[in-house]
Amino acid sequence: MTELSRNSVLLVTLDSCRFDTFENSVTPNLDRVGPMHRAMAPSYFTFASHAAIFAGFTPGVAAARESFVNPKYGKIFKLGGAAFPGRGRAHIALEGHNIIDGFRRKGFLTLGTGAVGWFDPATQPGRLLTQDFERYFYPGNTWSNARQVDWLLGQIDDSPPGQPVFAFINVGETHVPYYHEGASWDRAHNPCVPFADKNDAMECRRRQKACLEHCDRTLEPLLSRFREATVVICGDHGDAWGEDDLWEHGIHHPAVLEVPLLFRLVTA
């Protein structure tokens, strides 16, 4: 097993995970990373939110005058450029067209795996999000978190000793239809469909909670590997479950924008 450099960074996005889902779930492995913040996502759908996160605009709390909790005040990942410099401090300063490119320029091995369709490198939008990773894995569905974790761990073990790693994983189980491997319900039945008449908010809540708790277990080996390194965990957006008669995401609404944010920042 390759010893992981303390300079390494793990970024986990829980796709579509609502703040209240995280708040009401049993997630001991994720909780160890740090306190949870009730943050607002930078956008209301996967592509735009990840493009922003990859530019250093992680979810944040706008009223907080606290670096990292509020990226406007001080960013975890600060790209050089024309953006407001902030009043606080940055954890990692990077130069490049996104943070992936920035970490690569610093000599990091950049590893990525995205579950939802926006991360499919066979599509043009998918290539925009994934082309800067040196090694990348797309599982082809949203219920293969264990495979994603195994792939990342294998890539880390195959990396040069001492080389820092930037690893990114997008978790798909918390995305509609809220299904995880071995779940007792039919993944063909989606309880959260935009403009549909037979959606079920209670079933959405039950399923997303079960999926998050399942992924807390499947992510444990990866989180353990990065236990002495920087880890950032956040939702990229949430979902509406009938609030104002709205369903799913891709719309401006507090239920869609409110997400969990947790981090542990390590300076080697």
Which one, of 97, 153, 159, lies nearest residue 129 by Cα? 97
pLDDT (tens place) for every residue of the chain, 268 residues total: 777 999 999 999 999 999 999 999 999 999 999 999 999 999 999 999 999 999 999 999 999 999 999 999 999 999 987 667 778 788 999 999 999 999 999 999 999 999 999 999 999 999 999 999 999 999 999 999 999 999 999 999 999 888 999 999 999 999 999 999 999 999 999 999 999 999 999 999 999 999 999 999 999 999 999 999 999 999 999 999 999 999 999 999 999 999 999 999 998 6
Q: Is 84 exposed, middle or buried (0-12, 13-18, 19+ CB in 10 A)?
A: exposed
Considering the four listed CATH numbers 3.40.720.10, 3.40.1180.10, 3.30.70.260, 3.30.1780.10, the one that applies to the domain covering 9-58+99-264 is 3.40.720.10
How many CB atoms lie under 10 A from the CB of residue 87?
A: 11
Alpha helices in 86-227 (DSSP H): 99-105, 124-130, 145-157, 201-218, 220-225
The pLDDT score that the predictor gives to residue 146 is 98
Distance CA 10, CA 21 (A): 22
Distance CA 27, CA 11 (A): 17
Task: Report pTM.
Answer: 0.97
Q: Which residues of 91-122 are buried (b: 16+ CB within 10 A; e: fewer)?
A: bbebebebbbbbbbebebbbbbbbbbbbbbbe
